[in-house]
Amino acid sequence: MRKILAVARYEFIGAITRLGYLLTLIGMPLFVGCLIAVTSLATVRSATESLAKKRSIGIVDESGLFASAPDSIETELMPDLGRIRSADIALRVRRTELRRFGSLKEAHLALQRGEVASIIRIPTDYLTSGKLQEYVGPKREFELASGQISAGSLLRPWLVRGLLKGRVDAETGDRAAEPAKIERLVIDPTGAVAPADLIREVRPLIVPIGFAMLLLLSVFTSASYLATALAEEKQNRALELLLTSLTADQLFWGKLLGLWAAALLQFVFYLGLVAVPAAFAFAALGLNIAQAMVGICYFVLGFFFFGAVLLTVGAIGNTQKYTQQLSAVCTLTGVLPMMVLTPLLSQPRGALARTLTYIPFTAPITGLLRFGADALPWWEFVISVLVLTISSGLVIRFCGRIFRVALLATGTTPKLGQLWQWLRTG
Amino acid sequence: MKPALTPEPSARAPLLELRRVSKRFGSLVAVEELSLALQPGEIFGLLGPNGAGKTTLLRMSVDLLRPDSGEVLLLGGAPCGEALERIGYLPEERGLPTRARVLNLLTYLGELKGMTREDSRQQARSLLRRMELDVRERSRVGELSKGNQQKVQLASALMGNPQVLLIDEPFNGLDPVNRSLAIELLKERVAAGKAVLISTHQLQHVEQLCHRLLLLNRGRVLLEGEVDAVRRSHADGSILVSGTGDFGSLPGVERWTAAAQGNGQAPIRLFLRSGVTPDAILQQVVERRLSLRSFAPHVPTLEEIFVRAVERARA
């Protein structure tokens, strides 16, 4: 045990002082935070700028149908955001002026002078053809193609109101312009009805997804690193020196524990950095002990499983390149549930979700996601944990055998037949 | 100069003993029916061409490989557990983790040898000081020169003050100064009653350092015994003479190498007719009043013996 702990401590210190580990540990939250902030800001800014550019739109109404239509449009911007920040009216509503021109030539001059962002020409046959023309200045084609708010879409309610004005009452005109504001209601199992709340729906998934991301991050960084480091040690025969002082089993367990400790530190760091402050700031997140326990259970078992598999990959590989390729295949199987996240969450009790719950490679992430979606019955959780525990035990046992023999095998990369032989003789 | 045997090897039980061990890899015979006993206080030379089975023998000695038959005894027992902690091993194709810091790595290896962390760190520092590497103790292994990495390798084998040192080509990559330092360190271990098994191709080191040797070829023993005895036993009766005069024309001399006319510079090697003794030749030198600076039986170098023995075995 003393030697196992010595190896574990050495591997732990080696792992956590690695630049890649430190960059991942500290850089990842910064990167993710910055990414979320930048993309959110960019989205809001893009929409705001797009509207700002259209503060004034030229109208050439050749049809005469809209002579008495209003001279401005009010657009609600990002209603969800507006709800959260209801006080910030400036963000919520944008007013666009509609400037009328008697001729297209006159409007073109205004566009060239930058007095209007674009021109909408309503031809004489609009009522029968339904066609409008939007004129924009040069270098604006991409903006239109990229799907930013176009003058045409901004004008749609205005056109409807204009067409119906005088023919129907104002209220009917409003409904025709904006036919529905659907309010989603949710009936819970007790029969209580409450407005649908996106945040409340996502909330139970936050902790499981957090655990899943942590597991993947640890497997991708620490375990993959250990596999390639082991391949390097094997390649330069440093392992031969170590194996005269301790057994392959001691080395295997020491490395696995050291690796696990490094992953645990990563986990605790993120928990302290993100989850705890978040729990205080958003008490509504509803973190509960059950979620944390299930998360920790899957995290520990999943990490031991992937750790053992990747250690064996490191022992088998004779070059770092080969080891990296093989590690990538193994870790990708772990990511599979994230790749099929949409069908998994839309049908968390479906055949796909159930199957992935019982496969050791995909069980940790699938189990976590299904638990978050409240679609993991206790008996499925027990089976899944049992499968993972037994397969982790078997993997550790069989990988330990291969590990023992493979560590000293150099030269060509072993084939399946040779692996089978090692498994039997190791 | 060869270190004195301390104590008399035969007086104590062998520290490492291989009894008729054999190892095959498929159809390849790596080692066959090999026996060897490494005594306390001796340096043992393991020789052989590439592929002779030296590495396999070393690996079997430290339990990295199990023999197909025969027995390996380390400190009187099976090579496992605590017995292995008392072995210092330096494999030939060696490398250390390049990212590791020198002191931390040696401390770690000492811990694996059963030392406490504090003792291990202390010994690592002491060894590094001895090897003039103390200023580089915080350096990463990969930052060191090849020679310094080799010294760290040797230090790693010496961690834990092992009873038996099994070292493969220990002087590779060392300059003459550091080679002397390494030899000194090995001699100190032997003086303290430890045993050293050196596998090397550098035969001059075997002549200088080793008490006994074993020459392997294709897994079989070609030669073994005390170094001086092996050399003497391979002497062909020729004489090395230096001086002035016509040594080649002496009766009883069959042929000679180099110039027959001694010019007082390089020695001449005289091959004698059957039945002629060196004493008879010396008698004639005196009678003819040839100027003689040196006169000694020719003892072949280990390199000559090695090449001859291997070629004979291959033939």
Question: A-chain residues within 8 Å CB-CB of B62?
Answer: 244
Q: Where is average pLDDT lowest: A118-122, A422-426, B20-24, B260-264? A: B260-264
Question: Smallest Cβ distance to B95: which of A6, A236, A408?
Answer: A236
- Mean of all residue pLDDT scores within chain A: 76
Inter-chain CB proximity B84 and A241 less than 8 Å = no
Res A232: pLDDT: 72
Alpha-carbon torsion (A227, A233, A237, A241), positive or negative: negative
Residues A403 and A312 sit within 8 Å (Cβ to Cβ): yes
Exposure string for B85-102, b = 16+ CB within 10 A, e = fewer: bbbbbbbbebbbbebbbb
How far apart, in whole angstroms, are the C-alpha atoms of residue A260 and residue A51? 52
State the virtual CA torsion across A330, A333, A335, A336 in degrees, nearest 10: 170
Is the pLDDT assigned to residue A321 strictly greater than 70?
A: yes
The residue ranking higher by pLDDT, B263 or A80, is B263
Is the pLDDT assigned to residue A121 strictly greater than 80?
A: yes
Interface list for chain A against chain B, based on CB atoms closer than 8 Å: 3, 6-7, 10, 13-14, 18, 229, 232-233, 235-238, 240-246, 408
pLDDT, tens only, A338-381: 888 888 878 888 888 888 888 888 888 888 888 877 778 888 88
Question: Smallest Cβ distance to A244: which of B84, B93, B111?
Answer: B84
Question: Smallest Cβ distance to B156: which of A14, A233, A241?
Answer: A241
Interface contact B113, partner A, CB < 8 A: yes
How far apart, in whole angstroms, are the C-alpha atoms of residue A47 and residue A193? 34
The residue ranking higher by pLDDT, B137 or A400, is B137
How far apart, in whole angstroms, are the C-alpha atoms of residue A217 and residue A27? 12
The residue ranking higher by pLDDT, A275 or A65, is A65
Interface contact B104, partner A, CB < 8 A: yes
Res A340: pLDDT: 83
For residues B229-235, average pLDDT: 81
pLDDT, tens only, A191-232: 888 777 666 666 667 767 777 777 777 776 776 677 777 777
Inter-chain CB proximity B112 and A243 less than 8 Å = no
> What does the longest C-alpha to C-alpha distance in chain A come to?
97
Inter-chain CB proximity B111 and A3 less than 8 Å = yes
Q: Quick one: closest CA in B to A3, which residue?
A: B112
Q: Where is average pLDDT lowest: A61-65, A91-95, A373-377, B171-175? A: A91-95
Question: B-chain residues within 8 Å CB-CB of A244?
Answer: 62-64, 84, 87, 89
Question: B-chain residues within 8 Å CB-CB of A7?
Answer: 112
Res A82: pLDDT: 40
Question: A-chain residues within 8 Å CB-CB of B97?
Answer: 14, 229, 232-233, 238
The token duo for B278 is 């060196």
For residues A253-266, average pLDDT: 82
Is the pLDDT assigned to residue A284 strictly greater than 70?
A: no
Inter-chain CB proximity B112 and A232 less than 8 Å = no
Is the pLDDT assigned to residue A306 strictly greater than 60?
A: yes
- The nearest CA of chain A is from the CA of B297 a distance in Å of 45
How far apart, in whole angstroms, are the C-alpha atoms of residue B12 and residue A146? 89
Among candidate residues B14, B48, B45, the one with its CA nearest the CA of residue B32: B48
Question: B-chain residues within 8 Å CB-CB of A10?
Answer: 104, 108
Res B121: pLDDT: 94
Inter-chain CB proximity A408 and B85 less than 8 Å = no
For residues A94-98, average pLDDT: 80
pTM (2 d.p.): 0.68
User: With a cut of 0.90, is the ipTM above it?
Assistant: no
Res A91: pLDDT: 47
Res B120: pLDDT: 93
The 8-class DSSP code of residue A168 comes to B
Interface contact B158, partner A, CB < 8 A: no
pLDDT, tens only, B123-148: 999 999 998 888 888 888 888 888 88
Res A155: pLDDT: 81
- The nearest CA of chain B is from the CA of A222 a distance in Å of 16
Inter-chain CB proximity A238 and B93 less than 8 Å = no
Res A200: pLDDT: 66
Give the count of alpha carbons within 13 A of A286, CB side only: 10
Inter-chain CB proximity A232 and B97 less than 8 Å = yes
Question: Smallest Cβ distance to B112: which of A229, A238, A245?
Answer: A245
Res B107: pLDDT: 94
Res A280: pLDDT: 63
Inter-chain CB proximity A241 and B89 less than 8 Å = yes
Q: How confident is the model at residue A95 (pLDDT cuts 50, 70, 90)?
A: confident
Question: B-chain residues within 8 Å CB-CB of A240?
Answer: 59, 64, 89, 91, 94
Res A48: pLDDT: 63
How far apart, in whole angstroms, are the C-alpha atoms of residue A62 and residue A58? 13
Chain B residues 117-156 within an 8 A CB cutoff of chain A: 156
Inter-chain CB proximity B111 and A238 less than 8 Å = no
How far apart, in whole angstroms, are the C-alpha atoms of residue B249 and residue B281? 11
pLDDT, tens only, B3-46: 665 555 455 688 899 999 998 887 888 888 899 999 898 999 99
Res A86: pLDDT: 41
Q: Where is average pLDDT lowest: A25-34, A154-163, A337-346? A: A25-34
Question: B-chain residues within 8 Å CB-CB of A246?
Answer: 112
Q: How confident is the model at residue A54 (pLDDT cuts 50, 70, 90)?
A: low
Q: Compute the count of residue pairs across chains A and B with CB atoms less than 8 Å apart.
A: 62
Is the pLDDT assigned to residue B122 strictly greater than 90?
A: yes
Q: How confident is the model at residue A318 (pLDDT cuts 50, 70, 90)?
A: low
Element (H, E) at A315: helix A289-316
- Mean of all residue pLDDT scores within chain B: 84
Inter-chain CB proximity B84 and A240 less than 8 Å = no
Res A83: pLDDT: 43
